[in-house]
Amino acid sequence: MPHDLTLRQTAFYYFRNWRNDGTWERIHTALRERTGQRLGREPCLARRF
């Protein structure tokens, strides 16, 4: 592994916390919506419920 990467345990710690508190889903949703907008797609309202 490259020396400049963080430890796997550290990365998993943050991923697990973000997944459990909803941060990971909010990041994923924001990126999905932004990508859809850049591709000229209409927002999908069904995903918000």
pLDDT per position as a tens digit, 1-49: 667 888 889 999 999 999 999 999 999 999 998 998 888 887 766 555 4
Looking at residue 14, its pLDDT comes to 94
Looking at residue 27, its pLDDT comes to 94
| Residue 18 in tokens | 């973000």
- What is the distance between the alpha carbons of residues 43 and 33, in angstroms, rounded to a whole number? 7
3-class SS of residue 38: helix
Looking at residue 1, its pLDDT comes to 60
What phi, psi does 37 have (nearest 5°)?
-65, -45
3-class SS of residue 42: coil
Quote the DSSP letter at residue 7: P
Amino acid at the residue 6: T
pTM strictly above 0.85 = no
